[in-house]
Every structure is written in C-alpha cells, then in structure tokens.
Amino acid sequence: MCAVALLRVLPRTILSFARQEPSQTSDCILLAQENRNYNPGKKIERNVSMTNSNFIKTTGVITAFVAIIAAGMVNSSRHVRAHDDDDDEGEEAKIDRGFQIAPVPLDLLGKNRKLVGLGSYIVNAQSGCNGCHSTGPANEYAANGNPYFGQEQVVNVNTYLGGGRDFGPFPGPGPFPHIISRNLTPDKTGRPEGGNTFATFKAIIRTGIDTDNVHPTCTGAPDGKCIPPPFHGDLLQIMPWPVYQNMTDHDLRAIYEYLSAIPCLEGGPGEPANRCN
C-alpha cells in the first residue's frame, strides 16, 4: 500500500516540485489520504481492492500511474488557467485596454506609446479624472450617452479633461472662493495642464502644491478669494492627490504622457484665450 502510494505520489511530487508546492514524503497514510483527496478517485480505489490478482494489481498500478500523470497534467493546466484569470496579467493588457477605452483621438507623435496606453488605463479605468475635470455631470457625457440614464456610455469629447467643474464655495457657504477643476489638456506647447513639465506635474501630484496659487490661506476676514485655516491655501483642495501621491513614478509618467496625447480644449480657470494655437 505504501509502495503503491509512493508510486502514485511520485509523478505528482515531481510536478509539485516544478510548481514549487510543498510535497509530503514521510507518512504513508497521509500520502494515501492526500492522494484520495487529490485525485481521480475511482480508478485508484479499484486498484486497491483487486489485491487477489498480482497481474491486475500490477496493471492497476500502471493504470494509476498513468492516471496520476494525466491528472497532474490536468491539474497543472488548471493551475495555469487560474493564473491567467486571477493573477497579474502584466502591463500589456492594461496598455491594450487603455487604447480601447480612450474616449478621444490620441496624438502619438513623439510620444512613448506604451506609456500613453497605460496612462489612458489609469485615467479612464482607475482614477476617474474626467468625473471632476470635465465641466460637470451635465456635460460629462454626450447626448444620449449617459450611463446613468441607462444609455451606452459616450464621453463628451468637448469637455474631456478640459476642467471648469464648479464645486461651489469652499469650505462651505459664505464669502469663500469656488473650487473649480483645472484644464488638464495640453496647450500649444504640447505639454499637459497648462504647459507643465513632468517634474512640476509630479510635484503637484506628490505634494498637492497649487503652483497657480489660486486661493491663498486667509490671514484676516474671508474676502471671497482666500480659504480659511486650517485649510492650507497652497494646497489643492478636493483633488484626490492624497490618494494619487501613492502612485509609482512610472504610473505618474504614464498619466503625464497620456495627458500630452489628448486633444487641447480651450477654457478652464486661469487659462489664456487661444491656449490651443
């Protein structure tokens, strides 16, 4: 029995080793038990019960051997399939998906294609940038393309990441400035969000610093332009930089590359007229 168990286990042990699973070799009962759980039940039980004929027994062992090898192969291919379904598919899948879901035509000239695709994936599948950086819910989607109406989603290319969504007076009703999302599209320099370099963009996302200094901290009574302490006027409000700051440099670089590839839109707070050309 123990020898049979060992024979039955051997191929699996080899397979297990290849998959770096722990294998048991010490206890025959455990081995037999493990095998019953592991495997192809019926054939093996039949082998065990036909102890009155050596010929059948031998044949049975060989059959079991083959069955175990086959089962091991099935098991390991299942393992591979599970790997495909559940584990990290790698960056290529994200890049492909990024290109599939980009709602605007992309200018890839002089850009790193892979970064653009990954950036699109991060912006359009993970970060919801356009939810805040369009002009607002009323115009985020094209006519008849609002998923919240049960329609098939069509993003409005005329507001895509162009900024201008008004979040109202901050931090609440009163003589406080409105927080308005910024235009992230590239301007005539070809660089995103108002011509910022990657270094500046990275600093903004990592620290939340508002390089445009749109709403300083109040030093006296609120005047409709400053925001009151403890809010820090040098920092972007509402914008989820405390989340995005955890991204890798590579991901931030990808977002930046993608934002360089989308079409320019006019408008947005603080932007000059004719920013596109």
Among 41, 105, 128, 224, binds ligand HEC (CB under 6 A): 128
C-beta separation of 131 from 138 below 8 A: no
Angle at the Cα of 203 from the Cα atoms of 122 and 157, rounded to 5 degrees? 40
Q: Does 127 bind ligand HEC (CB under 6 A)?
A: yes
Where in 154-193 is the site for ligand HEC (CB under 6 A)? 167, 179, 181-182, 184, 193
Tell me how far apart the alpha carbons of residues 242 and 93 are, in angstroms, rounded to a whole number: 27
Contacts by 126-131, CB closer than 8 A, 24 or more apart: 127/244, 127/255, 129/161, 129/184, 130/103, 130/155, 130/160, 130/161
DSSP-derived letter for residue 180 is E
Among 236, 254, 261, 265, binds ligand HEC (CB under 6 A): 236
Q: Does 228 bind ligand HEC (CB under 6 A)?
A: no
Pull the structure tokens for residue 141.
Answer: 């989607």
Tell me how far apart the alpha carbons of residues 102 and 114 are, in angstroms, rounded to a whole number: 13
- Looking at 2-10, 31-39, 44-52, 120-128, which segment touches ligand HEC (CB under 6 A)? 120-128
Task: Decide whether 39 or 185 has the Cβ nearer to ligand HEC.
Answer: 185
Minimum gap (Å) between residue 204 Cβ and ligand HEC: 5
Q: Does 116 bind ligand HEC (CB under 6 A)?
A: no
Q: Does 118 bind ligand HEC (CB under 6 A)?
A: no
What track of x and - describes contact with ligand HEC for positions 198 through 227 (by CB under 6 A)?
A: ---x--x-----xxx-x-------------
C-beta separation of 107 from 186 below 8 A: no
Task: Decide whether 12 or 275 has the Cβ nearer to ligand HEC.
Answer: 275
Minimum gap (Å) between residue 174 Cβ and ligand HEC: 17
Q: Any idea of the CA torsion for 82, 17, 4, 28, to the nearest 10 degrees?
A: -100
Q: Does 121 bind ligand HEC (CB under 6 A)?
A: no
Task: Decide whether 68 or 271 has the Cβ nearer to ligand HEC.
Answer: 271
Residue count at the site for ligand HEC (CB under 6 A)? Answer: 27
State which H helix or E strand residue 178 sits in: strand 178-180
Task: Decide whether 105 or 168 has the Cβ nearer to ligand HEC.
Answer: 168
CA distances from 50 to 53, 56, 59, 62, 133 (A): 6, 7, 10, 14, 74
Among 9, 116, 255, 265, binds ligand HEC (CB under 6 A): 255
Task: Decide whether 105 or 242 has the Cβ nearer to ligand HEC.
Answer: 242
Minimum gap (Å) between residue 88 Cβ and ligand HEC: 21
Strand partners for 227 = 217
Closest CA to 211 of 226, 195, 222: 195
In the complex, the residues that contact ligand HEC under the rule CB under 6 A are 123, 127-129, 131-133, 167, 179, 181-182, 184, 193-194, 201, 204, 210-212, 214, 236-240, 244, 255
